[in-house]
Every structure is written in C-alpha cells, then in structure tokens.
Amino acid sequence: MSDKAKSPRILIMAGGTGGHVYPALAVADYLRKQNVEVSWLGTHKGLEARVVGKAGFPLHTISISGLRGKGMLGWVLAPLRLNIALTQALMIMLRLRPHAVLGMGGFVTGPGGVAAFVLNRALLIHEQNAIAGLTNRLLSRIAGKVMAAFPGAFKKAQLVEIVGNPVRDSIDQLAAPIERFAQRKGRLNLLIIGGSLGALALNETLPKVVAKFDAAHRPHVWHQTGAGKLVSTELDYAQQGIQAKVVEFIEDMDAAYAWADLVICRAGALTISELAIAGVGSILVPYPHAVDDHQTANADFLVRAGAAKLLPQAEMNEDVLFSMLSEIMTKGRRGLLKMALAARGAAMPEATRLVAERCLEAAHA
C-alpha cells in the first residue's frame, strides 16, 4: 500500500488576514478528521502565526510580504526577495513531500504555488473574493484545480468550480432564521462589525445614527470596534446616552450572528459567506480601498439575492445611514426575516467539504 493511500499529506498555503486564514482552517479541520496529515505554509508575521499552531497544525514559514508602501527600494529588491521565498518554499516541500498543495490566498501562495508546480505536486487554488487577486489569476494558469467562492471571480474562460467559502462549523450549525426570529420580541438587535481591524467610518458614525432613534425604538447594539478603538467608541456611545455592548473583537461570532436581527459591516469575502450561512440580513459598507474594489463585488452577491443593502462609504453619513436603517426597521422583524431567509437561500454550505474532497482527489490521483 502506498503512503498516500495510508495517510495522504496535504500542505495548505494561506496567510495574512482572517479572510484567507479562517477558511483554510475550516478545510484543515475537515481534513484532519479524515486522518489526513495537514501542514501549513505561511509567514511569521500574518494572522497564521498566531492561530495555526494553536489549532494544532505545524506551521512552516517563508519570508514574503507585499510591495505596497515599500517604495522604489522595495520594487528593486522584489526579485531577490521572491527568489529567496521560492527557495524556502522548495526546501520545505522537499522535506514534507506533500501529495497535494492547496492555496487559499495571501502573499505566501505565490512562491508556494510556483514551488509546487516546479516539484510536480498537485496544485489546487481557492479564491475567496468575487474578483480574483493577481496571485491567484497567475496561479490559475498552472494549477490543476481552480475553485472560487463566487461566479465570475476569474474573467478568463477556464474550468472553475464554484464551491462557496469554507466557514467554521459553529456558524454552519446555527438554527434556521425562522426558528431564531420566532423567539424574539421588543427592540431589534443590531450587530456592527468592522472586521478584525475595525472600520473607523463605522465606529464614528454608528453612535450618532443610533442616537437619532427615540429610546422606545432604539435598537440594542453589539459593536465590534477593532483593535485600539474600544475606548473612543465606548465614549461616543456614552456621550449619546446609549447603553451598548462595545468590544474590540468578537471571539464567538456564531453567538453574535445568532443574536443579530441585522448586521452593519464591511464586505470581506468571509463575512459575506458567514452572513449567508448564518442567515442574517445586512447593510454592507465595502472598504473603499480594497484592491479592484473587490468588496463591492462581494457585496453584490447578497444585494442581488435580496439579503442586503449596499451603502458605499463615499455616500455614507449619519443622515443617509439613519434613513436606510429606519426604512429597514419600519418593516420590523417580518422584513428582516425575509432578508435573513434570502441570505440563507444564497448560501453554499458544502464549501468546506467540497474543497477538502478536491484536495483528497488530487492527492490520490
């Protein structure tokens, strides 16, 4: 019996932000339950350095980062740094001898994907956003399998399997919207999320917006501020006379989604997929400086489904957001349940299993 038949070895490449790392962790957990030997290729600076080891997966790091903000010297040194990163990735793969390599995004996937190709390892990639990033567009030309969360992520005609975004089990297992809403009475529950890094525009605007509602109809607020923004946002709510639950980071996102009647948030790929799986209506304020404006494209997935309203940050102020929020709240929980059901209807809950199965198919080929 071959070693791959007994226990296939799969190397996952993902790094940088939660939008790449957490979907990859969902796949890694699934594979581990199938008795697969999973290793991780990342960097020592990204989120993966903090969470992958804690999750029980061996992390192997290479030295790679983006070129934005590095100036002319960064561009001049880029070829040398890429060669170093490629050499590091090659050495790691020669040592680990993976049967399949899965790229889930982040700078690490560039040299890692090339190393897999050079060593003739089965290479699979997964694009989380509605518009594929440069690295994945390039790797799609050499990958044996290309997967995407949203239709149209890759513009060139090619075989791309639309699978959705892997999300953590706890969100996938939330009760259906109709069950959650059946138990609710009184003021609405408003969840505000700016991503793990926060969103200054939401932090500054929402306390003023919530204050415009009279006390009898003012929603309950649970607000994630992001690191370093807690005190100032708490003060803003207090000055408006509002009692709100304000935290830097929400560890238990499934509990937050289960509590919420409506979410106001950015439109990162993972957030969009979690909103759909959880079944929660939303007002989406895409991050305006995202590469290729991909957050607006992400948001469109839920907007077209009738599960969300889009509010570009350039158009957002307290009056506009108050008007949009008031219109939604006027319809009460019946209207919010309709949005929640539309979100759940757009979900692709099999993403984790599908990505993992494609890895196993490639490993056994």
| Domains of the chain, first to last | 9-165+349-364 (3.40.50.2000), 171-346 (3.40.50.2000)
The answer for residues whose C-beta is within 8 angstroms of residue 168's C-beta and 6 or more apart is 22, 25, 26, 253, 254
Mean pLDDT of the chain: 93
Each residue of 7-29: pLDDT tens digit? Answer: 899 999 999 988 899 999 999 99
Each residue of 142-186: pLDDT tens digit? Answer: 999 999 999 999 987 568 999 999 998 899 999 999 999 998 999
pLDDT at residue 82, as a whole number: 84
The answer for residues whose C-beta is within 8 angstroms of residue 331's C-beta and 6 or more apart is none
* CA–CA gap between residue 365 and residue 362 (Å, rounded): 5
Is the predicted pLDDT of residue 228 greater than 60, yes or no?
A: yes
82-114 as b/e, with b when 16 or more CB fall inside 10 Å? eeebbebbbebbeebebbbbbbbbbbbbbbbbb
Beta-ladder partners of 126? 147
Beta-ladder partners of 201? none
Residue with tokens 């994945």: 136
* CA–CA gap between residue 323 and residue 331 (Å, rounded): 13
CB 307 within 8 A of CB 275: yes
Is the predicted pLDDT of residue 71 greater than 60, yes or no?
A: no
CB 93 within 8 A of CB 118: no
Lowest mean pLDDT among 12-21, 66-75, 216-225: 66-75
CA angle 15, 19, 24 (to 5 degrees): 60
Helix/strand/coil percent split, the chain, to 5: 50, 15, 35
**Total-model pTM:** 0.91
Using CB atoms within 10 A of its CB, is residue 351 exposed (0-12), middle (13-18) or buried (19+)?
Answer: buried
Using CB atoms within 10 A of its CB, is residue 27 exposed (0-12), middle (13-18) or buried (19+)?
Answer: buried
How does residue 1 score in pLDDT terms, banded at 50, 70 and 90? very low
10 Å Cβ neighbour count for 243? 10
CB 45 within 8 A of CB 55: no
Q: Which residue has the higher pLDDT, 110 or 4?
A: 110
For range 121-135, the mean pLDDT: 96
Each residue of 268-300: pLDDT tens digit? Answer: 999 999 999 999 999 999 999 888 899 999 999
First to last CA, the chain: 14
- With CA atoms as reference, report the closest residue to 271 among 105, 102, 129: 129
Percent of the chain with pLDDT over 90: 83
10 Å Cβ neighbour count for 34? 14
Output 332-336 pairs: Cβ under 8 A, ≥24 positions apart. Answer: 333/181, 333/184, 333/188, 333/261, 336/181, 336/188, 336/261, 336/262, 336/281
Whole-angstrom CA distances from 266 to 178, 297, 301, 302 are 25, 12, 13, 13
Q: List alpha helices for the chain, DSSP H.
A: 3-6, 18-33, 48-51, 71-96, 109-118, 134-139, 169-172, 177-182, 200-211, 230-239, 253-259, 269-278, 294-304, 318-330, 332-346, 351-364
